[in-house]
């Protein structure tokens, strides 16, 4: 009792550091790295009301330690995600990296686990460096200047492959080294373009399979001689085929996924001599999105993306038998990796489950939870499950999306709605955990809709190609119009209170909607968004410029440049009549901050309303918790002022 009394005595009310003087309401202090331009302060009462929703976290499965059988996960306990070790199911999360910048990926050396490699950038600039993690510190393995990307370990753990732009800042050349001896580093292949990766080493390490990503519809495979650096094409590169994987089985068979002869990528084998793809297993009706091969070759674990939800299946290469893991609820599976002893590690998330790490027993298919991430003390069973909405677009094409409705008992009557468009454009909205967005559903009564317009992945190679180039680009914008029209007829939704948001390519869609559908929308919140396709293509980082030209069009071609200018939101900025909130990462290598600066200036010049939030230590999205929190609070304030009032 005396201890409790002492604690009570010490818990004296103190004036908070953020309290304002006099009668002014208290405000939330803005993180030092943020610039809030033309925006109001954030009331402290808003931050207090949302606090439980801000304290959810997730844990993603990153890999296995082959020696002590522990699991490597990424989760956040402070301002950024870091790597942690979990020794057993539901064991303590022991932090391994302690960096100011996020670290979400790492991999132990095969066999010995004597070294762990991680990659990290600075301020979201995506100029990643490779490091060896030792004794809580990171030892730099790359040059500290160029953009580098981890590719693969050799099976015996003696070599690691990575790509780097160090030669000229543009081309992703292929390097190998023994990370225990950085002096062994050498360039194996000098290439042209930014889409290269070494997928896997042959068992004898004499050669490796390499991929050149050209677009979401086309990847080409090569045989790389590790001694001479000679690259030999595998198959006919004049064909447009999407291929992924490129993993050697213990017997030397190469397994890939390919959409050759199919709308969707299927699991199968690749003949490196002829390039022939041979499908294996059942003819899945949806996309095989990832796989891994057991160390003894006895089975392959693969996931299927069924209209946004995942199924995990185990395939026996000898018998052709397939078993489905049915002990997971409807949700999204990622990060599949089979441990040397056969256990399958995965990440899993759903509307009612924050992302967490699990394992699957390949014999019994039993599912074991390894982490249980905190959700701010909130009851996740209250979270809304989405419903699938399908509509016909302007040309008869069926497009779909996920609609989350507030509880009608708590929020009777017609509800306001925010449409949130994914990026990519080769992305897909899927029904995962909503995190802090649940506040808008559960406490504000705002419906949320996540569309998959044409050009989204997961619906086949024809669907993903329907927005390619400048002359088809606005067909996807028309899909948004079709959704807005259909949702306006929903008797439970208030068509006079619709808003729209999106990030990256979804940010372009956000600007485009503000110009095309100003009569249907109250306000728009656009994040790291393209405002002018020509200036975007001219200023995006050189290593990714040609890859983006394949998708959007080539600004160097006069006819395409003219069309790109015509469809750019900045060209039509006079049509933006409603309030706009623009969020920018100052170090964004994909969509430069200048894309935001120019449209904010143009709107204000026309007398319009434009809030602008800039993260000076962020890139393509806010990765640091303090910045992401402030961004969310500002977003709530924006929607309260312009959508709800």
DSSP per position, 187-237: EEE--SSS-EEEEEE-TTSSEEEEEEEEETTEEEEEEEETTT--EEEES-T
**Residue reference for tokens 């580093």:** 185
CB of 44 closer than 8 Å to CB of 27: yes
CB of 565 closer than 8 Å to CB of 533: yes
Q: Which of 129-138, 305-314, 325-334 has the lowest mean pLDDT?
A: 129-138
Average pLDDT of span 608-627 = 97
Q: How confident is the model at residue 135 (pLDDT cuts 50, 70, 90)?
A: confident
Average pLDDT of span 297-323 = 96
Which residues have a Cβ under 8 Å from the Cβ of 183 and sit 6 or more positions away?
none
Q: What is the pLDDT of residues 277-293, one digit of tens each?
A: 999 998 889 999 999 99
Average pLDDT of span 113-125 = 95
pLDDT score at 56 = 86
Q: How confident is the model at residue 361 (pLDDT cuts 50, 70, 90)?
A: very high
pLDDT score at 25 = 80
CB of 361 closer than 8 Å to CB of 368: yes
pLDDT score at 23 = 65
pLDDT of 172 above 70: yes
Q: At what angle do helices 505-516 and 473-488 cross, to 10 degrees?
A: 60
pLDDT of 106 above 80: yes
pLDDT score at 614 = 98
pLDDT of 2 above 70: no
- In angstroms, the Cα distances linking 447 to 386, 415, 439, 644 are 10, 7, 11, 12
Average pLDDT of span 69-89 = 96
The token pair that represents 42 in the structure block: 């954030």
Q: How confident is the model at residue 22 (pLDDT cuts 50, 70, 90)?
A: low
pLDDT of 8 above 70: no
pLDDT score at 4 = 33
pLDDT score at 39 = 97
Element (H, E) at 479: helix 473-488
* Secondary structure in 3-state letters for 432-447: CCCHHHHHHHHCCCCE
pLDDT of 10 above 70: no
DSSP 522: S
pLDDT of 7 above 60: no
pLDDT score at 17 = 37
Q: How confident is the model at residue 13 (pLDDT cuts 50, 70, 90)?
A: very low
Would the pTM count as exceeding 0.85? yes
Angle at 358 between CA 429 and CA 624, to 5 degrees: 55
Average pLDDT of span 165-172 = 96
- For residue 360, the tally of other CB atoms under 10 A from its CB is 24
**Helices vs. strands in the chain: H and E counts, helices first:** 11, 37
**Residue reference for tokens 């015996």:** 156
pLDDT score at 257 = 97
Phi, psi (5° rounding) for residue 525? Answer: -125, 110
Q: What is the pLDDT of residues 179-198, one digit of tens each?
A: 999 999 999 999 999 999 99
pLDDT of 114 above 80: yes
- In angstroms, the Cα distances linking 466 to 119, 238, 355 are 35, 21, 32
pLDDT score at 51 = 93
Burial class (CB in 10 A: 0-12, 13-18, 19+), 64: buried
Strand partners, 619: 621
Q: What is the pLDDT of residues 545-588, one digit of tens each?
A: 998 999 999 999 999 999 999 999 999 999 999 999 999 999 99
Phi, psi (5° rounding) for residue 644? Answer: -85, -35
Question: Which runs of E-coded beta strand occur in 250-386?
Answer: 254-258, 266-270, 277-279, 287-293, 300-306, 309-315, 322-325, 332-338, 344-350, 353-360, 367-369
The token pair that represents 390 in the structure block: 């399908």
Q: What is the pLDDT of residues 466-482, one digit of tens each?
A: 999 999 999 999 999 99
pLDDT score at 27 = 94
Among residues 484, 503, 474, 472, the alpha carbon closest in space to that of 618 is found at 503
pLDDT of 20 above 70: no
User: Mean pLDDT of all residues in the chain?
Assistant: 94
């Amino acid at each position: 009792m005396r201890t409790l009394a002492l604690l009570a005595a010490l818990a004296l009310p103190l004036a908070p550091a953020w309290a304002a003087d006099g009668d002014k309401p208290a405000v939330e202090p803005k993180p030092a790295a943020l610039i809030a331009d033309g925006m109001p302060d954030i009331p402290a009462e808003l931050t207090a009301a949302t606090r439980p929703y801000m304290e959810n976290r997730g844990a993603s499965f990153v890999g296995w330690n082959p020696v002590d059988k522990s699991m490597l996960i990424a989760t956040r306990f402070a301002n950024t995600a870091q790597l942690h070790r979990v020794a057993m199911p539901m064991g303590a999360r022991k932090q391994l990296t302690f960096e100011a910048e996020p670290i979400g990926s790492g991999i132990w050396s095969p066999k010995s686990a004597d070294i762990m490699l991680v990659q990290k950038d600075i301020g979201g600039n995506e100029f990643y460096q490779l490091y060896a993690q030792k004794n809580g510190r990171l030892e730099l393995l790359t040059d500290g200047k160029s953009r580098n990307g981890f590719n693969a370990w050799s099976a015996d753990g003696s070599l690691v492959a990575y790509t780097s732009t160090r030669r000229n800042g543009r081309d992703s050349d292929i390097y190998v080294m023994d990370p225990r001896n950085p002096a062994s580093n050498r360039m194996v292949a000098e290439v042209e373009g930014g889409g290269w990766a070494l997928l896997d080493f042959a068992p004898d390490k004499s050669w490796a399979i390499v991929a050149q990503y050209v677009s979401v519809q086309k990847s080409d495979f090569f045989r790389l001689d590790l001694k001479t650096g000679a690259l030999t094409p595998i198959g006919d590169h004049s064909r447009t085929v999407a291929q992924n994987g490129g993993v050697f089985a213990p017997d030397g068979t190469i397994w890939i996924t390919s959409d050759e002869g199919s709308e969707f990528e299927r699991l199968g084998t690749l003949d490196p001599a002829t390039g022939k793809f041979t499908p294996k297993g059942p003819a899945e009706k949806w996309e095989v999105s990832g796989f891994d091969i057991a160390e003894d070759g006895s089975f392959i674990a693969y996931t299927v993306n069924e209209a946004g939800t995942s199924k995990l299946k185990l395939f026996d290469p000898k018998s052709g038998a397939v078993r489905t893991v049915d002990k997971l609820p409807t949700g999204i599976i990622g990060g599949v990796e089979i441990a040397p002893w056969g256990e399958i590690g995965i990440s899993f998330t759903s509307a009612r489950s924050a992302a967490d790490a699990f394992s699957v027993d390949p014999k019994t298919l039993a599912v074991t939870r390894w982490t249980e991430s905190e959700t701010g003390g909130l009851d996740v069973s209250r979270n809304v499950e989405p419903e699938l909405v399908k509509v016909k677009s302007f040309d008869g094409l069926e497009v779909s999306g996920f609609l989350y409705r507030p509880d009608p008992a708590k929020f009777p009557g017609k509800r306001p709605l925010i449409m949130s468009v994914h990026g990519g454009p080769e992305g897909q909205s899927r029904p995962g955990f909503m995190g802090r967005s649940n506040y808008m559903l559960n406490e504000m009564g705002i419906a949320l809709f996540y569309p998959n317009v044409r050009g989204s992945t997961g619906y086949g190679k024809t669907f993903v190609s329907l927005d390619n180039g400048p002359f088809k680009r606005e067909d996807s914008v028309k899909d948004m119009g079709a959704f807005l029209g259909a949702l306006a007829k929903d008797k439970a939704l208030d068509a006079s209170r619709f808003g729209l948001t999106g990030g990256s390519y979804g940010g372009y869609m956000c600007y485009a909607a503000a110009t095309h559908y100003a009569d249907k929308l109250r306000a728009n919140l656009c994040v790291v968004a393209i405002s002018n396709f020509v200036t975007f293509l001219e200023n995006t980082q050189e290593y990714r410029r040609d890859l983006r030209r394949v998708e959007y069009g080539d600004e160097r071609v006069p006819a395409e440049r003219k069309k790109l200018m015509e469809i750019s939101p900045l060209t039509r900025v006079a049509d933006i009549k409603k309030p706009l909130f623009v969020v920018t990462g100052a170090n964004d290598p994909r969509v430069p901050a200048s894309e935001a600066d120019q449209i904010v200036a143009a709107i204000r010049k026309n007398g319009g309303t434009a809030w602008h939030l800039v993260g000076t230590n962020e890139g393509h999205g806010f990765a640091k918790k303090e910045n992401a929190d402030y961004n969310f609070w500002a977003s709530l304030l924006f929607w309260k002022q312009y959508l709800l009032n």
